Amino acid sequence: MMVKIKFEFLPNEILFQCFQYLNAPDLFHSFNQLNSHFSTLIRNIPLYLNFFQMKKSLFHHFCQIILLNSEIKQKIIYLQLSNDATHGQIEHFLSLFSLNTFLNLRSLLLIDLNENNIKQVLSILPFLSNLYSFSFTGTNIETLEIISKSKLRMLTVRYLEFESASINQTTIIGITSLTITDSQLDNFKLFKLFGYSNIRKFRDE
pLDDT in tens, the chain (205 residues): 555 667 777 788 888 888 888 999 999 998 888 888 888 999 999 999 999 989 999 999 999 999 998 899 999 999 999 998 888 899 999 999 999 899 999 999 999 888 778 878 878 888 888 998 988 887 666 655 666 666 778 878 776 655 554 555 445 557 777 777 765 556 666 665 665 555 555 555 5
Question: For the whole model, what pTM was predicted?
Answer: 0.80
Residue 177 contacts residue 153 (beta carbons within 8 Å): yes
Residue 197 lies in a domain: no
Residue 6 lies in a domain: no
Residue 194 lies in a domain: no
Residue 91 contacts residue 62 (beta carbons within 8 Å): no
Residue 148 lies in a domain: no
Question: Considering its fold, how many domains does the chain have in total?
Answer: 1
Beta bridge partners of 202: 178
The residue range of the domain holding 49 is: 11-139
Q: Tell me which residue of 144, 72, 138, 136 sits closest to 101, measured CA to CA.
A: 72
Q: Rounded to whole angstroms, what are the CA distances from 159 to 117, 153, 180, 186?
A: 18, 17, 6, 11
Residue 92 lies in a domain: yes
Residue 183 lies in a domain: no
